[in-house]
Amino acid sequence: MTFKSFLIGMCLSFGMAWMFVIAIPTAKMNNLSPVKMNNEEDAPYYQHKRSGRVLNGAEIYASNGCYACHTQLIRPTYAGRQIWRDDMAGVVDSDGNDSRRETTYFDYAGEKYAQIGLMRMGPDLSNVAYRIEKYAAATNLSAEQWLMEHLYNPRNNKLRVGEGGELMNMDWSNCQAQHQMFKKSPVVGQGNVLALREKTEDGEEIVPKEDALVLASYLMSLRRDDVVPASMNNAPVESAEDAE
Amino acid sequence: MSNPSQISPAKDAQMRVEIDRSLRHPVMFFFTSGAAWLAVSLVLGIIASAKTHSPTFLGECGIFQYGRSFPAHINTLIYGWGAQAGFGVMIWLMARFARQPSKNAGTILTAGHIWNLCVLIGTIGILAGHGTGKHWMQFPTFVWPVMLAAYAVIAVWSIVAFRCRKNNHVYISQWYLLGAIIWFPWVFLTANLYVNVFDVHPLMAAAINGWFRHALIFLFFTPIAIASAYYISAKVSGRAIYNYSYSIGGFWALAIVAPWAGMQTMMGSPIPVFLQYVGAAATMLVGVPLLAAGVNILKTASGQQETVAYSPSLRFSIAGVFGMLLLAFASLILAHPSAMRFTQFTIAGYGYDVLAIYGFFSMCMFGAIYFIVPRITRREWLSRRLIRTHFWFSIYGVLFIFLFCTLLGGFQQGAAQENYTQPWIQAVANTFPFTVGMTVAWCFVLYANFFFFVHLALMWLRLGRRSSHPTLLRREHSALGPHGPEGDIEELESAKA
> What value does the mean pLDDT of chain B take?
91
Minimal Cα distance from A27: which residue of B?
Answer: B200
The answer to whether B71 touches B126, Cβ cutoff 8 Å, is: yes
Distance CA A155, CA A169 (A): 8
DSSP secondary structure, A74-98, as one string: ---TTT--GGGSTTTS--B-TT--B
| % of chain B beyond a pLDDT of 90 | 80
User: Chain A partners of B251 at a C-beta cutoff of 8 Å?
Assistant: none
Tell me, yes or no, if B347 comes closer than 8 A to chain A by beta carbon: yes
Please report the ipTM that was assigned to this predicted complex: 0.93
Distance CA B88, CA B224 (A): 10
> What value does the mean pLDDT of chain A take?
89
Kindly tell me the burial class for residue B155, based on how many C-beta atoms sit within 10 Å of its own C-beta (0-12, 13-18, 19 or more): buried
Tell me, yes or no, if B185 comes closer than 8 A to chain A by beta carbon: no
Amino acid letter, B202? P
Q: Is the pLDDT of residue A236 over 80?
A: no
Distance CA B381, CA B225 (A): 22
Confidence of residue B222 (pLDDT cuts 50, 70, 90): very high
The answer to whether B297 touches B229, Cβ cutoff 8 Å, is: yes
Distance CA A47, CA A119 (A): 31
Q: Is the pLDDT of residue B490 over 60?
A: no
User: Could you report the per-residue pLDDT of A3-22, keeping only the tens digit for each?
Assistant: 999 999 999 999 999 999 99
Amino acid letter, B58? L
Residue B223: which H helix or E strand, with range? helix B222-237
User: Chain B partners of A14 at a C-beta cutoff of 8 Å?
Assistant: 183, 186, 219, 255, 259
Cα dihedral angle (B443, B446, B450, B456), rounded to 10 degrees?
A: 160
The answer to whether A192 touches A170, Cβ cutoff 8 Å, is: no
Instruction: Show Cβ contacts of residue B385 under 8 Å, excluding neighbours closer than 6 positions.
Output: none
Distance CA B66, CA B87 (A): 30
User: Could you report the per-residue pLDDT of B119-171, keeping only the tens digit for each?
Assistant: 999 999 999 999 999 999 999 999 999 999 999 999 999 999 999 888 778 89
CB contact under 8 A, B200 and A21: no
Q: Of B135, B219, B263, which has the smallest distance from its Cβ to A118's Cβ? A: B135
Distance CA B151, CA B127 (A): 24
Name all domains of chain B by residue range, CATH numbers in brackets: 14-461 (1.20.210.10)
Confidence of residue B213 (pLDDT cuts 50, 70, 90): very high
DSSP secondary structure, B377-389, as one string: HT-B-S-HHHHHH
B89-103, B270-284, B468-482, range with the lowest pLDDT: B468-482
Going B249 to B250 to B256 to B257, the CA torsion angle's sign is positive
pLDDT at residue B2, rounded to an integer? 44
DSSP secondary structure, B55-78, as one string: TTTTTT-STTSHHHHHHHHHHIII
Distance CA B105, CA B153 (A): 11
What is the maximum span of chain A, computed from C-alpha positions, in angstroms? 81
Distance CA B131, CA B121 (A): 11
User: Chain B partners of A67 at a C-beta cutoff of 8 Å?
Assistant: 67, 133, 135
pLDDT at residue B1, rounded to an integer? 43
